[in-house]
């Protein structure tokens, strides 16, 4: 019995894409300065980062206060990781339609390299995020006062037993996981194929933050968000936060992650007086 074989045209027309990639954002788009939506997005990024720092740093300080008398008290590292991941999930869900829900200079910088935002918008977003982080940490200090200073102010610090190079490597990997998840969750091809992807995008982003915190809290307290690291360091304003913690390592890591290149980190160990912090950071 002869086997039927369907013959296809020798020069078949290429299948049309069922999705459309948005055009690259212009590098300089001064027209955005005349749009109210641009300023509304800046306000959203500022408020979202403020709330993120307030909730998460307050959770960290509260845990340290509770566990001081009872080592088994408080929410624990798992609860802290949930606070950061859950807050990112909530804030991305709330601001995605206004500003894109960046809430993190690392995410903004990655989207700038991918030409998904203009240079002007990226710079202004980062300024708004850093300002929001500083104000959010300042609110926590104003509320908790002595407990804030006594428990490290939620600042990122390299834990004893780890070198700065190890801490930088952990931050690079953690930031890559987060930014990679953001790009995957917002891929237009997947959004066109699966209608649920845009709706559920905040969920995998929040889970990525949660998982990275579980892995990195024992090393640096997790500083995958430069605005979070900067805000806590500015308000805490102690040598441990500016010296051994090197909040600027988060900024160098951000560029290293996004461009897959960077300088060799220092191999010097952190000073013995810089105890490891157990507070994490966000998206």
Residue 61 reports pLDDT greater than 80: yes
193 vs 188: CA distance, rounded Å: 9
Structure tokens that stand for 137 in this block: 């940490």
Average predicted confidence (pLDDT) for the chain: 82
pLDDT, mean of residues 207-222: 94
Q: Which residue has the higher pLDDT, 74 or 133?
A: 133
Structure tokens that stand for 220 in this block: 């640096």
Helices and strands per DSSP (H, E), number in the chain: 12, 0
Q: Which residues of 71-82 are buried (b: 16+ CB within 10 A; e: fewer)?
A: eeebbebeebbb
Q: Which residue has the higher pLDDT, 205 or 152?
A: 205
3-state secondary structure of 70: coil
Residue 95 reports pLDDT greater than 60: yes
64-85 tens-digit pLDDT: 888 887 777 778 889 999 999 9
pLDDT exceeding 70 applies to what percent of the chain?
74
pLDDT, mean of residues 166-180: 95
pLDDT, mean of residues 213-235: 93
10-32 tens-digit pLDDT: 555 555 666 677 788 888 888 88
Quote the pLDDT of residue 136: 96
Which domains are delineated in the chain? 33-259 (1.20.1080.10)
Structure tokens that stand for 69 in this block: 């008398």
225-259 tens-digit pLDDT: 999 999 999 998 875 555 544 545 555 565 566 55
Structure tokens that stand for 110 in this block: 């990655």
Q: Which residues of 12-51 are buried (b: 16+ CB within 10 A; e: fewer)?
A: eeeeeeeeeeeeebeeeeeebeeeeebeebbebbbbbbbb
Taking alpha carbons only, the member of 102, 108, 110 closest to residue 122 is 108
Quote the pLDDT of residue 30: 85
Quote the pLDDT of residue 90: 96
Out of 11-15, 123-127, 167-171, 219-223, which region has the weakest mean confidence (pLDDT)?
Answer: 11-15
Q: In what helix (H) or strand (E) does residue 62 lie, and over which residues does it extend? A: helix 36-69
């Amino acid at each position: 019995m002869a086997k039927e074989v369907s013959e296809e045209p020798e020069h078949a027309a290429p299948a049309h894409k069922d999705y459309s990639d948005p055009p690259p954002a212009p590098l300089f788009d001064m027209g955005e300065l005349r749009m109210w939506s641009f300023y509304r997005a800046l306000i959203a990024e500022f408020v979202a980062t403020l709330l993120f720092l307030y909730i998460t740093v307050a959770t960290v300080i509260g845990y340290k206060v509770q566990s001081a008398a009872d080592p088994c008290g408080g929410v624990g590292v798992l609860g802290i990781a949930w606070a950061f991941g859950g807050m990112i999930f909530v804030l991305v869900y709330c601001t995605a339609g206004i500003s894109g829900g960046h809430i993190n200079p690392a995410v903004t910088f990655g989207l700038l390299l991918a030409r998904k935002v203009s240079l002007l918008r990226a710079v202004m977003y980062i300024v708004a995020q850093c300002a929001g982080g500083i104000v959010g940490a300042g609110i926590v200090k104003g509320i908790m006062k002595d407990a804030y200073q006594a428990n490290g102010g939620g600042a990122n610090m390299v834990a004893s037993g780890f070198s700065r190079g190890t801490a930088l490597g952990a931050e690079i990997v953690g930031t890559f996981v987060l930014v990679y998840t953001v790009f995957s969750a917002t891929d237009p091809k997947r959004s066109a194929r699966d209608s649920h992807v845009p709706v559920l995008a905040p969920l995998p982003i929040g889970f990525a933050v949660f998982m990275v915190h579980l892995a990195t809290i024992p090393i640096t307290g997790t500083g995958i968000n430069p605005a979070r690291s900067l805000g806590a360091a500015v308000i805490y304003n102690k040598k441990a936060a500016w010296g051994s913690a090197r909040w600027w390592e988060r900024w160098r890591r951000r560029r290293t992650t996004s461009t897959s290149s960077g300088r060799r980190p220092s191999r010097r160990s952190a000073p013995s007086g810089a105890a490891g912090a157990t507070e994490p950071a966000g998206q």
